[in-house]
Amino acid sequence: MKEKDYKYTPELPEEFKCKVPLPGTVQAFVTNGILREEITIDGGVSLKTHSGNGFIYEAKEGSCCKESLQVISFRNSQNTNDISIENELYFRKGSDSSLLLCTHTLSMDKFITQEVVNIEVEEGAKANIVVMQNEHNASTHKVDFRLSVAAKAHIKINVITLHGALLENDFNVKLRGEEAVCDLNGLYLVDGKQRVVTDISMNHLVPNCLSSQLFKGILDNSSVAEFTGRIVVAPHAQKTEAFQANHNLLISSNAKAYARPQLEIYADDVKCSHGATSGVMDQEGLFYMRSRGIGESEAKLLQQLAFVYDVLEKIDNERLRKRLYDLVESRLRGEFNHCENCSMNCC
């Protein structure tokens, strides 16, 4: 029997399938906001139960954890009430660790989930977080990410939104120490009547900090995407570099994308930019591919994959990037269509 290349903590529920885990990945499960088992990983990472719903993640000072932790949170029919969750993530001074956060729904109930994720990145720490959201067509999930980034700390967050009725991701970032870096990236794929809302407040409070934002979406049918990105550069926050981009590809004439890029700058020695576009498929590009013998549906798929590739490329872990790329391709090929009346959306 082939040995597993990942660890289940505890054993994976039989009704759920996950195609994401990688070699060296330790998995933990959160059911309806409750952490099922506390764990500790060699290298200085721990996951503990929060006093209420949610969990506390800590990468200890100076630690370097080679194993990646995957926290799989799902809602099921055991608790269909509206729930609030608060998670605490601490990346202590000089630590270096990676975290994969996945959310799923395992029944067709109309779940409403409010979640707060408090993230503290201490001096010189490196934090790499990938968020994968895959919920059903009756699920509402709002996540407030609240980030505090200290001097010479570096955090990267990549959000991959595959499925969900209403998903809201709000980021409030405070760069508090000089040479802090925050890199936010997101990809959302929506169709039907699905809606994705992204709201970012990037606050440069001290000099010599860098922030970067790249968010892209593909919208079909009557879906809606809203993006609000606000960069605030405080007085005396000189030598700030802040960049923001939001681009949307509209497959259907009924799909709608709203972008509200904003700059609020109170310092004079800065490099800041923002941009937002919404457009349709490149007909000349499609014609060129079809003239080379590529079928229409395959040509459209290739164009969509090319559109999102630079977001997926931001994921550092090559094997994880490949697995998420495969899931994105499956979604764009319509292989999730059979999930419309299913709670699983297995991935």
What beta strand segments (E) does 92-209 contain? 96-105, 112-121, 126-134, 140-149, 154-163, 166-175, 181-190, 195-204
pLDDT at 66: 81
What beta strand segments (E) does 251-337 contain? 256-265, 270-279
Cα 150–152–157 angle (5° rounding)? Answer: 75
Which amino acid appears at position 219 of this protein? L
Query: What is residue 15's DSSP assignment?
Result: T
pLDDT at 343: 45
pLDDT at 22: 66
Cα 312–316–320 angle (5° rounding)? Answer: 70
The CA-atom distances, in angstroms, between 322 and each of 24, 146, 328, 336, 337 are 16, 29, 10, 18, 22
pLDDT at 345: 45
Q: What distance in Å separates the CA atoms of residue 58 and residue 152, rounded to the nearest whole number?
A: 19
Structure tokens at 299: 């040509």
Asked if 197 and 226 count as a contact pair (C-beta separation under 8 A), the reply is yes
Burial 159-184 (b: 16+ CB within 10 A, else e): bbbbbbbbbbbbbebbbbbebbbbbb
Block means of pLDDT (10 residues each) for the chain, 347 residues, are: 42 53 80 93 92 93 90 93 97 96 93 97 98 94 98 98 96 98 98 97 98 97 97 97 97 96 95 93 90 90 94 92 92 69 46
Q: Which pTM was predicted? A: 0.91
Residue 27's DSSP bridge partners are 8, 70
pLDDT at 321: 92
Q: How many CB atoms lie within 10 A of CB 313?
A: 13
Which amino acid appears at position 306 of this protein? A
Q: What distance in Å separates the CA atoms of residue 185 and residue 308, rounded to the nearest whole number?
A: 11
Asked if 126 and 93 count as a contact pair (C-beta separation under 8 A), the reply is no
pLDDT at 2: 40
Q: What distance in Å separates the CA atoms of residue 300 and residue 305, rounded to the nearest whole number?
A: 9
Q: What distance in Å separates the CA atoms of residue 292 and residue 83, rounded to the nearest whole number?
A: 53
pLDDT at 19: 55
Cis peptide before 10 (omega within 30 of 0): yes
Q: What distance in Å separates the CA atoms of residue 282 and residue 21, rounded to the nearest whole number?
A: 35
Of the candidates 121, 131, 221, which has an alpha carbon nearest to the alpha carbon of residue 184?
131
